[in-house]
Amino acid sequence: MSVAATELGLSQACPLTAPGGEFHVDAELRDVLCFLADGRLLVAKSHAFSAGVRAFLVRLQRLGRTYQIHQVDMPVIAQVYRDAKRTEIVSASKTQGAVLELFKQAVELRASDIHFRVSQNDGVRVLFRIHNDLESIEQWPYEYGAQVCTTIYQAMADVSDATFEPLSRQDARISERTKIPAGLDGIRVATSPQVGGYVMVLRLLYNDAAETEGLTGLGYGAQQCAALELMARRPNGINVIGGPTGSGKSTTLQRLLAALIRDAKGRKNVITVEDPPEYPIANAVQTPVTNADTEEERSKAFQQAIKAAMRLDPDVIMIGEVRDSPSARLAVQAAMTGHQVWSTVHATSAFAIIDRLHDLGVPMALATDPSVITGLVCQRLVKVLCPHCKQPFSSAMKRYREDDTRRVLGVVPVDTVYVLGEGCEHCRGSGTAGRTVVSEAVVAEGQVMGCLRRNEREDAIAAWRRNQAGVTMIEDAIDKVRAGLVDPFQAEDIVGPLDLAGGRHA
């Protein structure tokens, strides 16, 4: 370091204008200025009055940041950034260790997501989503939390942009085995700016598909499993799984395709198109959609990936999500040209999937053609009661309003119903022990689809019940309440009032 730099005491300086820093600037401007955490602004003597420097000063003033200008030679600025980079590498290594411990804690608690809420005013809050509820875990100073997020994105992610830009929306993925704990296949990263800071959300992708028995291990009942087996045996057509974000659709697809590949004993070529691939599927060709800067570019990349998959001699194509009109049309085209297709959409019920496909531009004649749309599935996730501390409903009725109690007991017998307990050491005081699927599955056949084509929804449901012994999501939830697995009121939070079931529970 030059004498001038040493005199300024810059050997341990922290440049906020470094890549991924709080005041990210382009490489050209970094050559001539450096804003430090202590408020000093180093400016190259030869560029003290340049347009770029003046614009940066306006930026600081607009944000209310104080600064003291120090004019230095350009090599001094370059050396400060180099020294900071070396310090950052050492610091990042320590930070990675702390982050990995945080990941391990999340896995032990079976968290599905980790949230970092970064605010210059309030510091950084760390939250885990456990059994669908957010729990506050830690609170950090702003500087440390910002360092953690930068380390996660720049030093730990292997599918990401070159630098972390807190004021931009970015996606990334961590999949290197040394950077994720046992039990995970990877971690999906998403960031977004917020007022006064930004948020980073990590989705933990578990690799325990083999620990439970296929769909029954997820909570699918006998009728739904039989329907899905029929869908899997059809050589062509689209089978669509509906549900909101976080309802387990990707996990269900993984189990379905794994079983299909296993049963085919290598005779079927299964290709997936995913943005990005979430769970590994043994012996499937999983094709990622390239990270794109805009939604329009991402849509085009997704369409190109589907077209490419159709040229790879597939027997089965899995499209991660039918997300827009072009991808919906391509999925229909794939089904009409002799492929079995599996995909997902956001829909509120199995029958509402038809409406959603129509909204995405699929003509109603095709959306209700049982040779094109061959299966409709919808699912949600509900919490499973802790078997060690759950309480009989009969001993806890005083907790609830009389009309709520009357509504539940009009559907299920009191002697088999359990409700949330006070919590114990087995469930960390939560009263719950994981989640299970509640679902409905419709095999597309002429009578049901004909009713839907004529907009006769109630007749379609009646035909499904009659021909396939159809079970709605609410009825599936009631079965799990009756079995003592699920709290009736938690079930209602997910599927609605139980007395709306009708059908066999009416």
pLDDT at 421 over 80: yes
Stretch 168-197: mean pLDDT, rounded? 90
pLDDT tens, 328-379?
Answer: 999 999 999 899 999 999 999 999 999 999 999 999 999 999 999 999 999 9
**Residue 441: what pLDDT?**
97
DSSP at 293: S
| Beta strands 133-140; 123-130: pairing state | antiparallel
- Using 50, 70 and 90 to split pLDDT, how confident is the model at 451? very high
Stretch 461-467: mean pLDDT, rounded? 95
pLDDT at 505 over 90: no
pLDDT at 209 over 70: no
Secondary structure (DSSP) of 254-311: HHHHHHHHHHHTT-S-EEEEESS--S--TT-EEEEPPP-SSHHHHHHHHHHHHHHHHT
pLDDT at 202 over 60: yes
How far apart CA 240 and CA 31 sit, in angstroms, is: 53
| Residue 194 to residues 26, 169, 197, 199, 294, Cα–Cα distance (Å) | 22, 10, 5, 7, 19
The mean pLDDT of the chain is 89
pLDDT at 1 over 60: no
The predicted model scores a pTM of 0.74
CATH architecture assignment, domain 85-206: 2-Layer Sandwich (3.30)
**Residue 88: what pLDDT?**
66
Q: What percent of the chain has pLDDT over 70?
A: 93
**Residue 225: what pLDDT?**
95
CB-based contacts of 162, cutoff 8 Å, min separation 6: 19
pLDDT at 506 over 50: no
| Tokens representing residue 492 in the block | 């209602």
How far apart CA 351 and CA 471 sit, in angstroms, is: 13
Report the C-alpha dihedral over residues 154, 171, 141, 34, rounded to 10 degrees: 50
* Residue 326 near residue 415 (C-beta atoms within 8 A): no
* Residue 469 near residue 221 (C-beta atoms within 8 A): no
β-bridge mates for residue 129, sequence order: 113, 134
- Can you identify the CATH homologous superfamily of domain 209-380+437-471? P-loop containing nucleotide triphosphate hydrolases (3.40.50.300)
Alpha-helical runs (H) found in 113-159 = 142-151
| Beta strands 418-419; 123-130: pairing state | unpaired
Q: Nearest to residue 100, comparing CAs of 210, 202, 19?
A: 202
How far apart CA 124 and CA 118 sit, in angstroms, is: 4
- Using 50, 70 and 90 to split pLDDT, how confident is the model at 291? low
pLDDT tens, 216-258?
Answer: 999 999 999 999 999 999 999 999 999 998 899 988 999 999 9
How far apart CA 287 and CA 293 sit, in angstroms, is: 19
**Residue 352: what pLDDT?**
96
How far apart CA 326 and CA 324 sit, in angstroms, is: 6
| Residue 450 to residues 116, 130, 150, 242, 364, Cα–Cα distance (Å) | 49, 42, 55, 21, 11
Return the ∠ at Cα 148 (arms to 184 and 87), rounded to 5°.
120
β-bridge mates for residue 36, sequence order: 15
